[in-house]
Chains A and B, each alone.
Chain A
Amino acid sequence: MTDAEELRSRVRQLLAEHPPATTDRTDFLKARFDAGLAWVHYPVGLGGLDAPRALQAVVDAELAAAGAPDNDPRRIGIGLGMAAPTLLAYGSEEVKSRFLRPLWVGEEVWCQLFSEPGAGSDLAALGTRAVRDGEDWVIDGQKVWTSSAHIARWAILIARTDPDAPKHRGITYFVCDMTDPGVEVRPLRQITGEAEFNEVFLTGVRIPDAHRLGEVGDGWRVAQTTLMNERVSIGGARIPREGGMIGKLATTWRERPELRTHELHRRLLDLWVDAEVARLTGERLRQQLVAGQPGPEGSAMKLGFARLNQAISGLEVELLGDEGLLYGEWEMRRPELVDFTGRDAGYRYLRSKGNSIEGGTSEVLLNIVAERVLGLPPEPRNDKDVAWKDLAR
């Protein structure tokens, strides 16, 4: 069993052998991975030490104090939060050792080819086909809302391998090479003017069977691992009071007395309280995880933040009055990173509309809370035992 003291001594050794000041960033990250200090709860040889997950905070704090570079978890969020846990759970030894290190180091960006034009909240209705051809699978179809597709080297992909089975049972999970000539990525311009998402067209894309994760037809279960990790990927970071959007609004309020009205004051205080309580809820969740008592509160966080971000940024536009009528720029850009709190109030307001849609709509998450946490009965369904090919589309 690895304890905090042993981890500290490993960190000291890493720092001694690869002084951050004189070591190339990528070289340092590779050395950190090889020392088992990337994600300490991962297996030995795959960036970890089989240590309790809670001890990661010890490593991160020591390295941050020493000024070591981090792996920019925001830029590689999909790889870290979603692809990696799925690769770990379902990948062969070859797959794990091939993909995890460049993923964690940030040399290879990942994206997620799940949603389709006809399969959003009803993800299991997807129609992208995968047909076996010798040692390969041949993929044809269209995906949408794909963040980072324009910079991704690899993708996690779910596709239909058995149209005769009910929709949840005919899906298989793959790792897709985004450089394959059959992959075409087109920017999808959105409400903010940017093209942060993409459409991805897959035409005769060949994926070796060795890049299949889990059994043929078992892709829905594999995808659950991905989706559960998507919603639990918060937790590590502690947010200071007034961190996030409420801090922007409070700063504007303090610096611009001429904008204040009594009505806006009341709404500001309402939202300030809600934001502080959301922060405390996140802190409580973090403490539960550290204490080994993970609760269902994780699903609460995304719902709460979506609602709050929308309300806070909306109020900020109103507070700004004449300035709120203006917008920074509408030029279409393709950002590598989404910065929810960056740019101006108008951007924050528009971008926050996505917070209640991306990664599971608020409506779907409320259903999940109602059914899995509160134990309320599911709505009647008429699609469970019908072959996918016979469903109305």
Chain B
Amino acid sequence: MTDLLYSETEDDLRATVRALLADRAGHQVLLDRIETDDPYVPGLWKSLAGDIGAAGLLVPEKLGGQGASHREAAVVLEELGRAVTPLPYLTSAVVATETLLGLAGEGGGPAVELLAELASGRKVAVLAVPLSTAPDAEPFPPGAPEAGPSPSAASDAGPLPASTVAGVADAVAADVLLVPRADGLYAVPAEEATVEPQTPLDLTRPLARVTTRPGTGTRLADGDAARTAVRRGLLAGAGLLASEQLGLAERCLEETVRYTRERHQFNRPVGSFQALKHRMAQLWLDVVGARAAARAAADALATGSPDAPLTVAVAQAYCSKVAVRAAEECVQLHGGIGMTWEHPAHLALKRAKSDQIALGSTGRHQDAIAALMDLPAPA
């Protein structure tokens, strides 16, 4: 049976993460950081990933992790979403980690070594695909096999051109890039790649153009195994992104309720006007639904349920909308103050809108549902 509640362990983890973020990554800290070239709060990754052990939640203990599950990682993401924290958690601790876990079945090897480094938080890795890539997308380029480090694989066609992927989230923080190439998945050290920052809509999740040259890096897996692993990584990412969206939506609603209770106009708190109350109550209903959907996705991933692709698509199709609506309502119901750079509402709006596109758009996830549930489009 799908468990949609939170365990005591999960509640404890939430409290720990929330306290850390309140202490170190408050709104003013974030507003100050986004004015610099580097939005990440110094030392925060080490505290969350290393000291608390959050980076290794998905990794079994024998591979150097915490041996927890997607349920716990989802709670961490709820908190990161609440605080709109710039950290490479979704990209490294979920998508890259889950991709490597998909390759770790074979025993040792470079994937397992890298996994242990990610789990401890010593290294950050990101999958070098656009942030918008859906779980059922095909991120592997067609074409000739890699003119790779193995001499037997050398191509007659001469050296291949370097390949570039734009919109790679958190690449600027990565030590290692997981690069899909025609013949498999490669781990490329960041110093062997070119990472050019792009200007993102979401200032708290940096994007970059990543260029890698053939022949660099270590091949982790060949075509089919690599495809399966990457799909697994993206599915976990999409499923747990719903928890980030839930946390963000919940915080936006709380802040809006708090503000409209205090703000007086026409000699009344504006939150006493029915037109506004109904909008906030409706948003609360949406958040209640988002929690059920996000929990279902986290639980389906944690238990390896065959229902996971559907549950993840449902959570994404729903939670994306709720997060955007909550952030938009937050801006609107704060009035003019909601339009200012000083007020943090814009950070949430930019994250929510960017999250709506991340890891598959609403329409893309709906198409997945249509296929899985036999609800076909017109012929």
Contacts of A89 in B (CB 8 A): none
Tell me the minimal C-beta distance from A49 to chain B in angstroms: 25
- The proximity string for B residues 348-379 relative to A, scoring 1 for CB distances below 8 Å and 0 otherwise, is 00000000000000010010011001111111
B2 at the A interface (CB under 8 A): yes
B339 at the A interface (CB under 8 A): no
A268 at the B interface (CB under 8 A): yes
Tell me the minimal C-beta distance from A387 to chain B in angstroms: 26
**For chain B residues 266-283, which have a beta carbon within 8 Å of chain A?**
268-269, 271-274, 277-278, 280-282
Tell me the minimal C-beta distance from B275 to chain A in angstroms: 11
Contacts of B277 in A (CB 8 A): 366-367, 370-371, 374, 376
Q: Is there an interface contact between B261 and A377, defined as CB atoms closer than 8 Å? A: yes
User: Which of A1-9, A151-159, A256-264 is the interface stretch?
Assistant: A256-264
**For chain A residues 248-280, which have a beta carbon within 8 Å of chain B?**
250, 253-254, 257, 260-262, 265-266, 268-270, 272-274, 276-278, 280
Contacts of B274 in A (CB 8 A): 363, 367, 379
Q: With contacts A273-B317, A276-B314, A366-B282 known, is A257 near B379, CB below 8 A?
A: yes
When chains A and B are docked, how far (Å) is the Cα of A282 from the Cα of B24?
37
When chains A and B are docked, how far (Å) is the Cα of A266 from the Cα of B361?
14
Q: With contacts A268-B375, A367-B277 known, is A374 near B366, CB below 8 A?
A: no
Q: Is there an interface contact between B375 and A277, defined as CB atoms closer than 8 Å? A: no
When chains A and B are docked, how far (Å) is the Cα of A253 from the Cα of B377?
10
When chains A and B are docked, how far (Å) is the Cα of A276 from the Cα of B268?
39
A31 at the B interface (CB under 8 A): no
Q: With contacts A280-B293, A377-B271, A379-B272 known, is A273 near B375, CB below 8 A?
A: no
Q: Is there an interface contact between B278 and A363, defined as CB atoms closer than 8 Å? A: yes
Contacts of A270 in B (CB 8 A): 366
Q: Is there an interface contact between A280 and B281, defined as CB atoms closer than 8 Å? A: no
B288 at the A interface (CB under 8 A): yes
When chains A and B are docked, how far (Å) is the Cα of A268 from the Cα of B373?
12
Contacts of B186 in A (CB 8 A): none
Task: Determine chain A's interface SS by DSSP, over half rule.
Answer: helix
| Chain B CB within 10 A, most for which of A260, A276, A375 | A276
Q: With contacts A268-B375, A280-B293, A293-B5 known, is A369 near B285, CB below 8 A?
A: yes
When chains A and B are docked, how far (Å) is the Cα of A375 from the Cα of B280?
11
Closest residue of A by beta carbon distance from B268: A380
Contacts of A274 in B (CB 8 A): 289, 318
A interface residues, tally (CB under 8 Å): 44
Q: Is there an interface contact between A260 and B280, defined as CB atoms closer than 8 Å? A: no
Tell me the minimal C-beta distance from A262 to chain B in angstroms: 6
Contacts of A363 in B (CB 8 A): 274, 278
Q: Is there an interface contact between B280 and A374, defined as CB atoms closer than 8 Å? A: yes
Tell me the minimal C-beta distance from A103 to chain B in angstroms: 32
A180 at the B interface (CB under 8 A): no
Q: Is there an interface contact between A265 and B292, defined as CB atoms closer than 8 Å? A: no
Q: Is there an interface contact between B285 and A377, defined as CB atoms closer than 8 Å? A: no
Q: With contacts A268-B375, A374-B280 known, is A273 near B292, CB below 8 A?
A: no
Contacts of A266 in B (CB 8 A): 363, 366
30 A-B pairs with CB atoms under 8 Å apart are A250-B373, A250-B375, A254-B375, A257-B379, A260-B377, A262-B378, A265-B375, A265-B378, A270-B366, A273-B366, A274-B318, A277-B290, A277-B318, A280-B4, A280-B292, A281-B291, A283-B2, A284-B5, A288-B5, A300-B288, A304-B289, A367-B274, A369-B284, A370-B281, A371-B277, A374-B253, A374-B277, A377-B271, A379-B274, A380-B272
Nearest first, the 7 closest Cβ-Cβ pairs linking A and B are: A370-B277, A280-B292, A377-B272, A369-B281, A284-B4, A260-B378, A269-B366
Report A's interface with B, CB cutoff 8 A. Answer: 250, 253-254, 257, 260-262, 265-266, 268-270, 272-274, 276-278, 280-281, 283-284, 287-288, 291, 293, 297, 300, 303-304, 363, 366-367, 369-371, 373-380
